A and B are shown apart, each in its own frame.
Chain A
């Protein structure tokens, strides 16, 4: 089954404790992206990657890092999480990026709470 797999689904952590949210896709998509979703703000792009070793900032990259060492994986790293990073996070992939008529395939989401 074609899918984007995120882990964990739920995470509660403390301020400053580094964490990684994993994302993996099995569709051989070149484009991958991370979004956060907050009430009243919609989904906002954090980082995206056009291909292996090619990453760039989205609209809200502060406090996040990403890497793309393999085509299928695109982990999101929070080096020192803060409470304002409490949010619902989605990883997405696409065959041809934002212009694709096929749209994005999203992972199931990671609900992160930073206390």
Chain B
């Protein structure tokens, strides 16, 4: 079973739409959670860390549900520049590795 599972998409949404991605993780000992963004043929870049109480950064909101072991990312008022692949990432306490999902591809359409 994969450590992190995501719906690969693609999600095609119009500009201004709200879109949500979910991912699930298998290891209940996971303690650190992140969303990364990866543009085509580019390196992943940290979008935001995900905290237990949920957190918001502008148009982006991340939520963590430990009981169900899933993480979500909500993007409001989508922009063309939001088109990318979004990677769900987790790590366990004391681990020296990040476990990456395979990513969810988002295309924002004019």
Q: Are A103 and B97 within 8 A (Cβ)?
A: no
Looking at the assembled complex, report how far the CB atom of B95 sits from the nearest CB atom of chain A, in whole angstroms: 5
8 Å CB contacts to A: which residues of B24-64?
A: 31-32, 34, 36, 41-46, 49
Of B9-17, B73-81, B99-107, the stretch lying at the interface with chain A is B99-107
B31 / chain A contacts, CB cutoff of 8 Å: 99
| Residue positions of A touching B, CB distance < 8 A | 31, 33, 35, 40-45, 48, 50, 56, 58-59, 90, 97-99, 101-104, 106-109
Q: Are B32 and A101 within 8 A (Cβ)?
A: yes
Q: Report Cα–Cα, A43/B42, bound state, in Å.
A: 13
Q: How would residues 82 to 103 of chain B score, 1 for a CB under 8 Å from any chain A CB and 0 otherwise?
A: 0000010001010111101111
A101 / chain B contacts, CB cutoff of 8 Å: 32, 49
Count of residues in B whose CB is under 8 Å from the partner chain: 23
Q: Are A41 and B42 within 8 A (Cβ)?
A: no
Specify the chain B residue showing the minimal Cβ separation from A31.
Answer: B96
A104 / chain B contacts, CB cutoff of 8 Å: 44, 46, 98
Q: Are B46 and A102 within 8 A (Cβ)?
A: yes
Q: Are B96 and A98 within 8 A (Cβ)?
A: yes
Specify the chain B residue showing the minimal Cβ separation from A88.
Answer: B41
Looking at the assembled complex, report how far the CB atom of A78 sits from the nearest CB atom of chain B, in whole angstroms: 20
Q: Are A59 and B49 within 8 A (Cβ)?
A: no
Q: Are A103 and B49 within 8 A (Cβ)?
A: yes
Contact partner of A45 among B4, B87, B97, B102, CB < 8 A? B97
Contact partner of A107 among B36, B43, B98, CB < 8 A? B43
Q: Which of B43, B45, B46, B49 has the most CB of A within 10 A?
A: B43
Q: Which of A44, A97, A108 has the most CB of B within 10 A?
A: A97
Q: Are A98 and B95 within 8 A (Cβ)?
A: yes
Q: Report Cα–Cα, A59/B2, bound state, in Å.
A: 13
Q: Report Cα–Cα, A108/B42, bound state, in Å.
A: 6
